[in-house]
Amino acid sequence: MDEQIERILEFENGIIEGDVVREITQVFSYLDKSFSQRKSYDEYYYTETVVVVDVEVINELNSLGYTIYIDSEYIKIK
């Protein structure tokens, strides 16, 4: 059984591209309310949210091409 941990999800940039939002919400479906659209652009602001992470989630994010950094409080996606 994979161990699950809770961490605050962070992004490298303050404004997130729409493609990234769509990919991330496929992995973390409950994050759809954590993003708010920036004007009429396909860009979004993100409100820090706690996510549940396990090896499967990390593998899925890596397969999408993201680099993941995890510490005792945060998981950061680049």
Give me the pLDDT at residue 30, please. Answer: 94
CB 71 within 8 A of CB 6: no
Give me the pLDDT at residue 38, please. Answer: 93
CA-CA distance, 63 to 21, in Å (whole number)?
16
Give me the pLDDT at residue 13, please. Answer: 86
Each domain of the chain, given as residue ranges in start order, spans 5-77
Q: How confident is the chain (78 residues) per 10-residue block, as mean pLDDT?
A: 88 93 96 94 96 94 95 94
